[in-house]
């Protein structure tokens, strides 16, 4: 047992690593422990943020502890806090970049590319940045920080017990699901968040650990009395046939609005990136502008919990909803684009409720709007959140758990499906995976493709190579390599660098004379390198139309270190693909 196990189980008589590997019961026990830690993280981060709100803005219990519930804020104080907070965020980011130059890995990226491996230290940095960003009033939520640290704890505990790669990914997802469940007091939604966004699939093998973690996380928040206050939502009523048509239109229009929001975030980041001056000054500029907006409408601050309750209380008109939607979207774009750290999960719920209210009011004169403004807001919430987050079943379950309204379950499901289809067809990515795409990563979900990167040419190649100087005559080569002695010969120039491949059949088909064997060489400029992954290698085989290629140390030195055949690469690719497919299906018969 390692140090972690020795401290946790000082008198354990069994080798816990062996006990946990492949055992769903013990994996569920570990997931429950991860869920407890996740709930504690949610409680600590939430209370720390509220304490900062009270200290910096003078927030009292009147607004439920949320900035967005205030009617007014002191203008000078608001601008100073947000701009000063932005300056602190910028300086902190520069300091961290010098100490930790690598970019932190988030749960989706960890499960998709790194087999669930995350750093707790890097995640604590993200937590500090998220709490600071939200604590000074940034127009973003804490959910990204919740899932980051919770998933990191799941990864660390799993690696301490050396669980299988598939089980480690499940623990990472269990941590994220427990954090979301604790944040919203919605264990079912938290579990589906883990399945859809972090693990990338649902299987019977992952059901128990994820469910246990989500229930444990919610249980901790309820035990500590930190359950978020519920949203009082009037009865949405039943949905008529005309209202169903309106729900379809609201869903599509809200999805288009979400696409515009994601595009604007990217453009805002580009504007701040091109802004002259030091990097650490950008968050201060963004905070200054957001502070100016907050002096007019404080509801643009923070994630928008209390502001959304105002929408469902019927205190926001359609005209006011248009203003709030534009200002909240602008504030969120400015915060994320300038360098504030946080997510858009709850902000998307607030924006969606505003969008649903607006589009429902516009459709009312046409006679196709849902019967109530509440129904319009709920449909807009589901559509906006699914477009931004990319998790339809999570939002359907969250709507049911937040509202308790079964009558609207069908409408929210329709909204979720239509929103997802619209975004995938017109945009291609959710907000999280779109940001990976901007960094050059081809990730569209958390399905594990990291094995493709780890399965590189170095692992597949054959190190023994039959070489010959390129100046050797054909007759001499035919003597040295009689038929059947090899399939191909690798040629080297005078300096020992790669100079092509000659197939033995073509060698013996050539006239036996003093012509240099170089004249028969093929694929002189088609070379594999050790770090190429299996997909890149297969693409190079197809491009060169070769059945075998040489592996060189690097294209500059052209030092031959091995060979690889297309047949072997395809076979290994098919084996790993089948292994990945069976693990997604929860087949425990797979070898570890």
Residue 591 has a pLDDT of 42
Residues 26-36: what's their mean pLDDT?
A: 92
- Please give the Cα distance from 82 to 285 (Å, whole number): 9
Q: What is the pTM assigned to this prediction?
A: 0.78
- Please give the Cα distance from 576 to 144 (Å, whole number): 32
Residue keyed to tokens 């003078």: 58
Give the tens place of pLDDT for each residue, 460-506.
Answer: 888 888 888 988 888 888 888 888 788 888 899 888 889 889 888 88
* Pairwise pLDDT comparison (227 vs 195), residue with the higher score: 195
Residue keyed to tokens 């939200």: 134
Residues 159-171: what's their mean pLDDT?
A: 87
* Ordered alpha helix ranges (H), 279-363: 282-296, 305-312, 318-338, 345-363
Three-class SS of 395-431: HHHHHHHHHCCCCCHHHHHHHHHHHHHHHHHHCCCCH
Q: Which of 285, 246, 469 lies closest to 379 in space, CA to CA?
A: 246
- Nearest-Å Rg of the Cα atoms of the chain is 29
Helix (H, G, I), strand (E, B) or coil at 32: helix
Mean pLDDT over the full length of the chain = 83
| pLDDT level of residue 61 (50, 70, 90 thresholds) | low
- Cβ neighbors of 145 (< 8 A, separation 6 or more) are 45, 126, 127, 129, 130, 131, 341, 342, 343
Other CB atoms within 10 A of residue 185 CB: 19
Give the tens place of pLDDT for each residue, 290-322.
Answer: 999 999 999 899 888 788 888 888 888 889 999
Residue 1 has a pLDDT of 43
| pLDDT level of residue 133 (50, 70, 90 thresholds) | very high
Phi/psi of residue 15, nearest 5 degrees = -75, 105
| 114 contacts 443 by C-beta, under 8 angstroms | no
* DSSP 8-state code for residue 194: I
Residues 369-391: what's their mean pLDDT?
A: 87
Phi/psi of residue 528, nearest 5 degrees = -95, 155
How far from 66 is each of 50, 94, 177, 233, 320, CA to CA, in Å?
7, 29, 24, 18, 20
How far from 584 is each of 59, 135, 217, 463, CA to CA, in Å?
47, 39, 25, 34
Tell me the longest C-alpha to C-alpha distance in the chain.
98
């Amino acid at each position: 047992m390692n140090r972690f196990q020795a401290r946790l189980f000082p008198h354990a008589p069994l080798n816990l690593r062996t006990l946990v590997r492949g055992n769903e019961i013990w994996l569920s026990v570990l997931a429950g422990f991860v869920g407890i830690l996740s709930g504690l993280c949610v409680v600590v981060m939430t209370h720390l943020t509220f304490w900062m709100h009270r200290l910096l803005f003078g927030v009292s219990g009147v607004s439920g502890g949320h900035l967005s519930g205030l009617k007014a804020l002191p203008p000078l104080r608001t601008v100073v806090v947000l701009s000063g907070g932005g300056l602190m965020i910028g300086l902190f980011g520069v300091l961290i970049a010098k100490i930790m130059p690598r970019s932190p890995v988030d749960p989706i990226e960890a499960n998709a590319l790194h087999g669930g491996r995350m750093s707790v230290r890097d995640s604590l940095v993200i937590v500090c940045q998220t709490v600071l960003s939200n604590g000074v009033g940034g127009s973003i939520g804490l959910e990204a920080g919740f899932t980051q640290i919770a998933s990191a704890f799941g990864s660390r505990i799993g690696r301490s017990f050396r669980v299988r790669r598939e089980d480690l990914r499940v623990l990472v997802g269990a941590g994220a699901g427990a954090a979301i469940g604790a944040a919203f007091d919605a264990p079912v939604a938290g579990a589906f968040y883990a399945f859809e966004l972090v693990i990338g699939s649902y299987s019977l093998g992952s059901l128990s650990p994820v469910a246990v973690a989500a229930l444990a996380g919610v249980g901790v928040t309820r035990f500590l009395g930190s359950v978020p206050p519920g949203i009082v939502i009037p009865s949405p009523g039943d949905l008529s046939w005309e209202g169903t048509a309106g729900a379809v239109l609201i869903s599509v229009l809200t999805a288009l609005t979400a696409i515009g929001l994601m595009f604007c975030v990217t453009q805002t980041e580009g504007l701040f990136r091109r802004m002259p001056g030091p990097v650490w000054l950008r968050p201060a500029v963004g905070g200054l502008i957001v502070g100016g907006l907050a002096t007019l409408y404080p509801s643009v601050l923070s994630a928008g919990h209390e502001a959304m309750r105002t929408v469902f209380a019927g205190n926001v008109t359609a005209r006011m909803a248009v203003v709030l939607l534009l200002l909240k979207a602008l504030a969120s774009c400015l915060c994320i684009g300038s360098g504030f750290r946080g997510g858009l999960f709850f902000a998307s719920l607030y924006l969606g409720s505003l969008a649903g209210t607006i589009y429902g009011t516009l459709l009312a004169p046409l006679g196709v709007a849902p019967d109530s403004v509440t129904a319009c807001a709920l449909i807009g919430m589901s559509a906006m959140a699914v477009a931004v987050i990319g998790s339809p079943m999570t939002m359907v379950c969250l709507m049911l758990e937040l509202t308790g309204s079964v009558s609207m379950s069908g409408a929210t499901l329709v909204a979720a499906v239509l929103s997802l289809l619209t975004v995938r067809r017109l945009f291609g990515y959710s907000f999280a995976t779109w940001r990976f795409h901007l960094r050059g990563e081809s990730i569209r979900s958390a399905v594990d493709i990291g094995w493709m990167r780890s399965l590189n040419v170095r692992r597949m190649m054959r190190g023994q190579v039959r070489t010959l100087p390129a100046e050797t005559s054909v007759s001499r080569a035919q003597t040295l390599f009689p038929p059947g002695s090899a399939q191909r010969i690798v040629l080297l120039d005078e300096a020992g660098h790669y100079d092509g491949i000659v197939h033995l059949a073509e060698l013996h088909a050539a006239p036996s004379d003093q012509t240099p064997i170089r004249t028969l060489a093929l694929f002189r400029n088609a070379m594999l390198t050790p770090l190429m992954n299996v997909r890149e290698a297969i693409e190079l085989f197809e491009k060169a139309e070769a059945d075998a290629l040489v592996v060189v140390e690097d294209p500059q030195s052209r030092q031959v270190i091995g060979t690889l055949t297309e047949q072997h690469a395809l076979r290994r690719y098919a084996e790993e693909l089948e292994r990945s497919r069976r693990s997604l299906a929860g087949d425990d018969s797979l070898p570890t």
